[in-house]
């Protein structure tokens, strides 16, 4: 693996860069608090009025028209933030934050299966870009501040500031984290998270306490190698699903662009397909965010951690709903649905392997995301922040195995490869972007 890059901001930025990061983090944390409250509200409205699903095609077209007429570069979403980290010349438009907030709330109000990380990251990047322009920071400082904004948004929306900071420095170039920006990202992530909590925002908890002793996790005198082997095999499966998800999103999006050249009409086909999937499976469990449901019998992220019941195909249904939603251009991102897919897949694998369902749900929760986003370290830290440091070893094995089996291309097209991956990652040339194009100094 190549040495970490030693970019992005020179020491001359000094206190102005720190001040900018603090200001961007406070604003991003506040925006995320509003977003989480609004997302909860529109989700409750959707549950109360299930007929809203049938307006999803029209709602998607309305959002696409707004983006087409007023969005400009904002249409690129999280990939635009990564592009500006690689080459900050064009900046990030201020309009990105309100547009993605509006688009995501519409997606969830009408039942699209999308996430919330894309919204938080884009709001953080847009706010950081605006602060940089106001303080007239140079290009190198803008790179660092964009990563700080990403860290603040990710840390605030999930309540995982350590993972948010590492995600921001890890995601742009795989294998070559931008470590010089890490202190600034840590500062921004913790301030963003604290600000979000100060506004009264809450985060879901997924307890797996006590599961570590089930099934012989702690054998007499040491760790149970049989269960560790099961964790590694599950990690391979998590990586394969992460690869399949990324490829499915990219290929379906490309196919829809060829079949429906008009971007305003594209969400209509995706929305109709979501409605068709709803009738095909006969359940509303896979619509929307999927974190909770008023139906105690429904499959949700909360239910996957609350009982020993095994759901063998829930991951596949959520996979299909999400790929169609994201590929059709609905806003919100992929990460929370990836949490659902991973947790449901872990639950299913636990049933096959005779392992603790909650433990494997927790492993899948972070490991599928690690493979799909090529961010194993951030996901490992997220697992410890969510489930406890006592699970560091199985989380690390699952995330590492997933990353090693997840192919050359992830969910972010503007992500670059910072090292040569083994042949089993897929044919060369399938990376999102070549590392040779990275303009950051090594």
435: left (phi over 0), alpha (psi -120 to 50) or beta: alpha
pLDDT digits (tens, 9 = 90+) for 207-217: 886 444 444 44
CA angle 10, 13, 14 (to 5 degrees): 110
Quickly count: other Cβ atoms within 10 Å of residue 257's Cβ.
Answer: 14
Cβ neighbors of 14 (< 8 A, separation 6 or more) are: none
Nearest to 56 by CA among 332, 259, 334: 332
Structure tokens at 81: 């933030």
**Which domains are seen in the chain, by residue range?**
11-198 (1.10.3080.10), 211-436 (1.10.3080.10)
Q: Which of 138-147, 155-164, 233-242, 427-436 has the lowest mean pLDDT?
A: 427-436
Say whether pLDDT at 441 is over 60.
no
Can you give the pLDDT at residue 422? 56
Report DSSP state, residue 416: E
Can you give the pLDDT at residue 5? 46
What proportion of the chain, given as a percentage, has pLDDT over 70? 88
Nearest to 368 by CA among 386, 392, 345, 391: 345
Can you give the pLDDT at residue 291? 94
Report the Cα–Cα distance between both ends of the chain, in Å, rounded.
Answer: 12
Q: Read off the pLDDT of each residue in 31-47 and give the average, rounded to a whole number.
A: 97
Can you give the pLDDT at residue 205? 83
Question: Is the whole-model pTM more than 0.75?
Answer: yes
Q: Which of 11-15, 270-274, 321-325, 366-370 has the lowest mean pLDDT?
A: 11-15
> How large is the C-alpha radius of gyration of the chain?
20
Say whether pLDDT at 10 is over 60.
no
Structure tokens at 243: 């690869």
Say whether pLDDT at 218 is over 80.
no
**DSSP for 166-182?**
HHHHHSSEET--BGGGH
Can you give the pLDDT at residue 221? 39
Can you give the pLDDT at residue 11? 44
What proportion of the chain, given as a percentage, has pLDDT over 90? 74
Q: How confident is the model at residue 431 (pLDDT cuts 50, 70, 90)?
A: low
**Bridge partners, 417 (sequence order):** 174
CA–CA distance, 239 with 437 (Å, rounded to integer): 26
CA–CA distance, 428 with 407 (Å, rounded to integer): 10
Nearest to 175 by CA among 396, 361, 391, 438: 438
CA–CA distance, 217 with 227 (Å, rounded to integer): 6
């Amino acid at each position: 693996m190549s040495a970490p890059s030693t970019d992005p901001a020179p020491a001359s930025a000094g206190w102005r860069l720190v001040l900018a990061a603090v200001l961007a983090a406070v604003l991003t944390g506040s925006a995320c608090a509003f977003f989480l409250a609004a997302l909860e509200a529109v989700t409750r409205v959707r549950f109360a009025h299930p007929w809203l699903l049938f307006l999803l095609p029209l709602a998607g077209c309305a959002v696409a028209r707004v983006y087409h007429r007023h969005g400009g570069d904002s249409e690129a979403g999280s990939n635009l933030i990564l592009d500006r980290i690689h080459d900050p010349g064009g900046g990030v438009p201020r309009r990105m934050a309100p547009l993605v907030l509006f688009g995501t709330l519409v997606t969830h109000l009408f039942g699209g299966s999308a996430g919330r990380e894309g919204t938080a990251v884009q709001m953080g990047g847009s706010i950081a870009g605006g602060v940089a322009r106001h303080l007239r920071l140079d290009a190198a400082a803008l790179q660092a501040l964009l990563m700080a904004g990403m860290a603040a948004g990710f840390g605030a929306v999930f309540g995982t500031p350590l993972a948010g900071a590492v995600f921001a420095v890890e995601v742009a170039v795989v294998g070559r984290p931008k470590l010089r920006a890490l202190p600034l990202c840590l500062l921004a992530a913790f301030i963003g998270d604290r600000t979000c909590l100060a506004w009264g925002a809450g985060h879901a908890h997924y307890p797996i306490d006590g599961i570590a002793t089930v099934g012989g996790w702690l054998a007499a005198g040491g760790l149970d190698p049989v269960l560790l082997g099961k964790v590694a095999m599950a990690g391979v499966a998590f990586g394969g699903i992460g690869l399949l998800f990324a490829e499915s999103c990219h290929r379906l999006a490309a196919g829809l662009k060829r079949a429906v050249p008009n971007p305003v009409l594209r969400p209509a086909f995706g929305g109709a397909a979501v409605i068709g999937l709803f009738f095909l499976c006969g359940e509303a469990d896979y619509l929307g965010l999927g974190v909770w449901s008023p139906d105690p019998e429904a499959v949700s992220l909360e239910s996957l951690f609350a009982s020993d019941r095994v759901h063998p195909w829930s991951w596949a249904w959520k996979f299909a709903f999400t790929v169609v939603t994201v590929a059709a251009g609905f806003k919100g991102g992929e990460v929370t649905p990836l949490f659902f897919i991973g947790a449901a897949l872990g639950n299913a694998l636990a049933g096959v392997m005779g392992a603790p369902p909650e433990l494997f749900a927790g492993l899948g929760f972070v490991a599928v995301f690690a493979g799909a986003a090529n961010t194993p370290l951030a996901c490992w830290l997220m697992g410890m922040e969510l489930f406890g440091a006592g699970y560091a070893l199985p989380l690390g094995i699952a995330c590492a195995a997933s990353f090693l089996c997840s192919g050359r291309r992830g969910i972010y097209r503007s992500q670059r490869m910072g090292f040569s991956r083994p042949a089993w990652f897929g044919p060369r040339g399938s990376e999102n972007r070549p590392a040779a194009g990275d303009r950051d100094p090594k």
